[in-house]
Amino acid sequence: MFTYSPPLHRFKEAFGCHASEVCLGLDRLFAVIDKDGTGSIGVEDYIMAMDLLCHGTARAKSDFAFAVYDSNKMGVISANEMRDITRSILDVIKKAYTDSGNSERGGLTLDANPDAFDDMVESMVTSAFRS
């Protein structure tokens, strides 16, 4: 039996997250790609995002990344926003490699030392917000 799932749920599932799972990074990425706010990513939305990420200027790419990290849309990124989004994105990447069942892809070295994951996120945030 076919069950309809909203586009955001399918988007999250494509990255290995359950539809009900909180994946802040994917939620923000979806929102930024869905520029017209329709709640879906059409072919044109996808092509525009991929073209920007592959061929856009450094400014356009950084504006895109800023929009992903600016989760409250205030025009300023807080350390907490950066920490939460970065951790979420790295969780999705880690999940893609560890849950794939494909031994050729291997696992991330973070599996051996779980504290390394949090240390890496903190190091990134600290570097970004250093005076």
Model confidence at 59: pLDDT above 70: yes
What pLDDT does 28 receive?
Answer: 93
Higher-confidence residue of 61 and 7: namely 61
pLDDT tops 60 at residue 2: no
Name residue 117's amino acid.
Answer: F
Q: Give the C-alpha separation, 47 to 56, whole Å.
A: 12
pLDDT band of 38, cuts 50, 70, 90:
confident
Task: Identify the pLDDT of residue 112.
Answer: 56
What topology does CATH give the domain 7-129?
A: Recoverin; domain 1 (1.10.238)
Write down the pLDDT at residue 104: 55
The reported pLDDT for the residue numbered 71 is 87
Neighbouring C-beta atoms of residue 1, cutoff 10 Å? 2
Q: What is the pTM of this model?
A: 0.76
More confident call, 10 vs 67: 67
Query: Please, which residues have CB within 8 angstroms of residue 97's CB and are 6 or more apart in sequence?
Result: 105, 106, 107, 108
CA atoms within 13 A on the CB side of 114: 0
Average pLDDT taken over every residue of the chain: 82
What is the band of 26 on the pLDDT scale with cuts at 50, 70, 90? Answer: very high
